[in-house]
Structure 1
Amino acid sequence: MIERIVAVRLPNGLHARPAAQFVQAANRFKSEVTLVKGERMANAKSIMGVIGLGVAPGETVTLRVDGSDEDEAMEVLVRLLTRVDEETR
């Protein structure tokens, strides 16, 4: 298992479209993916779980990935959480 603390730089945080893109990306991997905000955690492959965390722009989350493709999954998912472009709006 690998774990990384990430500052979310998405202009609207992990809400609606960016959350859906994040969940779709997480589902491409075999690894288990968990997103942690404070004392709450969610399965990163669940749209309701991710949106339910209410991650706002600039907040810090912990991303945990465990499985055979964890390195690639971590790289892709961190990139999604930290990108700032028109596609995430």
Structure 2
Amino acid sequence: MIQQSVKLQTKVGLYPPYISQLVQEASRFHSDIFMTHNGRRVNVKSIMGVLSLAVSKDAELTFEASGDDEEEALYQMIRTVESFQ
């Protein structure tokens, strides 16, 4: 298992189009991928789980991945979040 944190740099937080993109990216990987925000941990492959976090702007998100492609999965999650504007 590996993990990394990233700060969300959007003006509106993590809203549905961003969540959809993040879930689609996570679903490409075999690894289990989780995101933690304000002490709550959800599976990134679950759109309802990610929506339930209600992530606001400037939030600190921690991603963790565990599995055979964990490094690539974690890299892609961070890269995807950093691409949001």
TM-score range, shorter chain: over 0.9
Alignment gaps of 5+ in structure 2 = none
Structure 1 runs of 4+ aligned residues shifted over 3 Å read none
State the aligned residue count. Answer: 85
What secondary structure sits across from 2:61 in the alignment?
strand
Alignment gaps of 5+ in structure 1 = none
Is 73-82 or 27-36 further displaced after alignment?
Answer: 73-82
- Mapped to 2, the partners of 1:36 and 1:84 lie a distance apart of 18
Identical aligned residues as a percent:
34
Is the 2:18–2:84 Cα contact (8 Å) retained in structure 1? no
Per the TM alignment, residue 10 of structure 1 is displaced from its structure 2 partner at its CA by 3.1
* Residues 27-38 of structure 1 aligned to structure 2 (within 5 Å): 27-38=27-38
Aligned equivalent of 2:52: 52
What secondary structure sits across from 2:9 in the alignment?
coil
Tell me the TM-score normalized by structure 1.
0.88
